[in-house]
Amino acid sequence: MRAAVYYETGDPDVFRYEEVPDPVPGPGDLLVDVEAVSIEGGDTLNRRGGELGSVPHIVGYQAAGTVAEVGGDVHSFAPGDRVVTVGLDGSHAERRVVAEAFAWKVPDGLDTQRAACIPVPFGTADDCLFEFGRLQAGETALIHAGAGGVGIAAIQMAKRAGARVLATASSEDRLERLRGLGLDEGINYATHDFVAEARRLTDGRGVDVVVDSVGGTTLQGSLRALAYRGRCVTVGDAGRVRAEHVDISALRPNNQTLSGYFLGAELLLAPRARTMIARHLDEVAGGELQVVVDRVLPLSDAAAAHAYIESRQAFGRVLLVP
């Protein structure tokens, strides 16, 4: 099979498009012919500086396609099923192997490309808002990186839950487009201090829940933007700079909470997360939630796709098609 691989981490130009051996499924695995790869934020971070599970390495969390083969212990899937899959790596290829527990059937009426965009961002958004953020109707949520996959999912879910929705983005154009998805107030972080704006927009009170996928110095600002008993969930480092030190001295006197979140752990340890993602697949198929695709590129252009994402121009998902 062909795959986008690299031999060392670094900038997008480390990618090579090469012939590599087909993966071999074990007893509890599916072998999937990949038809669409949704590039996740973690994919670019891993390419930039993650561990190499093999050399050459195939990066990538999320992809959808058709089951080609199942292991002897697999009972929920059969060859020919359309599925969306997640894994620690291996999505940037014509074929991937995943465990049965990390695959979902694609509902009728949902095309494969949109299905490829759902489990990681929608599952992450749901858990950050509700399982860990405990967002309630009438509260205010601040969602960073509103034009990204998690951001677009979280804006829709928070609005649907009856919350007031604030989000950050790098341009007025992006913020305007987010209004159609449920955004109430946008904050252009390129021109405004988001903490000051969040407090201004809440008459000084602050926000009840922050979904922070940016990290770095932004995470400290997220804590400063919290209202009394506010909850901040840190879910990533899209800013590509980790926060070495975070001052949490204000949390205790204000009864505030800072939580970390990783979807992979929930999928391993909490069966409800798998059911939650299946529900979102049905909701997108039924038009209750939207997937936004910015552009679709061939798998051979993985370097260009990663560079485009890192330029911060994308609005929604960037897909690769083998």
pLDDT tens, 262-305?
999 999 998 899 999 999 999 999 999 999 999 999 999 999 99
Q: Which two tokens stand for residue 300?
A: 């051979």
pLDDT at 317: 97
pLDDT at 243: 60
CA max distance for the chain: 60
User: Is residue 119 a contact partner of residue 62, using CB atoms and an 8 Å limit?
Assistant: yes
| Interval 45-80: pLDDT, tens | 999 999 998 999 999 999 999 999 999 999 999 999
pLDDT at 53: 87
Share above pLDDT 90 across residues of the chain, in percent, rounded to a whole number = 93
SS3 188: strand
Q: CATH number for the 2-117+291-321 domain, one of 3.50.50.60, 3.30.530.20, 3.40.50.1980, 3.90.180.10?
A: 3.90.180.10
Q: Where are the domains of the chain?
A: 2-117+291-321, 120-264
The pTM (predicted TM-score) of the whole model is 0.95
| Interval 206-221: pLDDT, tens | 999 999 999 989 999 9
pLDDT at 242: 65
pLDDT at 48: 94
Helix, strand, coil tally for the chain in percent (to 5): 30, 25, 40
| Residue 266 φ/ψ, nearest 5 degrees | -65, -40
Closest alpha carbon to 54 in 13, 82, 92: 92
pLDDT at 203: 98
Helix (H) and strand (E) counts in the chain: 10, 15
DSSP assignment, residue 301? G
pLDDT at 212: 97
Q: Can you tell me the distance from the alpha carbon of 147 to that of 188, in angstroms, rounded to the nearest whole number?
A: 12
User: Is residue 110 a contact partner of residue 285, using CB atoms and an 8 Å limit?
Assistant: yes
Low-confidence ranges of the chain (pLDDT < 50): none
Q: CATH number for the 120-264 domain, one of 3.50.50.60, 3.40.50.720, 3.20.20.70, 3.40.50.970?
A: 3.40.50.720
Amino acid found at 27: P
For residue 54, give every residue at least 6 positions away whose Cβ sits within 8 Å of its Cβ, in sequence order, or none: none
